[in-house]
């Protein structure tokens, strides 16, 4: 186990089985498409490992600066079926959104499994930016940018961001406050 303090951490499983444990016994195993939110707050010891030695594991971890310091540490996890995010942006973790896992920072993490022939829009708020990852598949068009697999695009400012694909694609969108 290793220590951290004062962060909001979001983990999204891209492939395999992700195991998280902390000194309080919180965590568990997540599979592809699963998400975990951790408020590190005043501090915690934890570990993250591949739950299976026979298959590879990939995950993305996003670290946000919290809205306040010294919060009580917490860990929440949720498995997400692909059908829940097919051809739409599914909010996974967000600031002040009771329908998602809680994020104690002004931002959001959303996922989509996008199929050819579909278009999904995201309304970017003023003063915010987004970072869109092509986790698998594609290429994916984000506005005027064409992104191959394992690439990402950044957008800043206010407005609608439209995403389409030529082949099936797994996507992850991060919104952050730029102020």
| Structural domains in the chain plus CATH codes | 2-78 (2.60.120.10), 82-177 (2.60.120.10)
- Joined together, the tokens standing for residue 28 give 């568990």
Supply the pTM of this predicted model. 0.90
Check residue 122 and give its pLDDT: 96
pLDDT at res. 43: 80
Cα–Cα distance measured from residue 90 to residue 121, given in angstroms and rounded to the nearest whole number = 12
C-alpha to C-alpha distance for 49 and 29, rounded to whole angstroms: 10
Specify the pLDDT at position 118.
97
| Contact assessment for residue 6 and residue 19, using Cβ atoms and an 8 Å cutoff | no
β-bridge mates for residue 53, sequence order: none
Residues of the chain with pLDDT under 50: none
Q: What is the pLDDT of residue 1?
A: 66
């Amino acid at each position: 186990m290793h220590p951290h303090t004062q962060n909001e951490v979001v983990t999204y499983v891209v492939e395999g089985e992700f195991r998280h444990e902390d000194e309080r016994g919180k965590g568990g195993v997540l599979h592809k498409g699963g998400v975990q939110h951790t408020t590190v707050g005043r501090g915690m010891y934890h570990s993250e490992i591949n739950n299976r030695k026979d298959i590879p594991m990939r995950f993305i971890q996003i670290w946000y600066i919290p809205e306040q310091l010294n919060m009580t540490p917490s860990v929440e996890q949720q498995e997400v079926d692909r059908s829940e995010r097919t051809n739409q942006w599914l909010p996974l973790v967000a600031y002040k959104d009771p329908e998602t896992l809680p994020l104690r920072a002004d931002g959001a993490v959303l996922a989509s499994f996008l199929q050819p022939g579909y278009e999904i829009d995201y309304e970017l708020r003023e003063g915010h930016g987004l970072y869109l990852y092509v986790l698998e598949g594609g290429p994916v068009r984000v506005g005027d940018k064409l992104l191959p697999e394992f690439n990402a695009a950044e957008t800043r400012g206010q407005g609608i961001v439209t995403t389409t694909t030529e082949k099936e694609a797994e996507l992850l969108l991060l919104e952050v406050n730029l102020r």
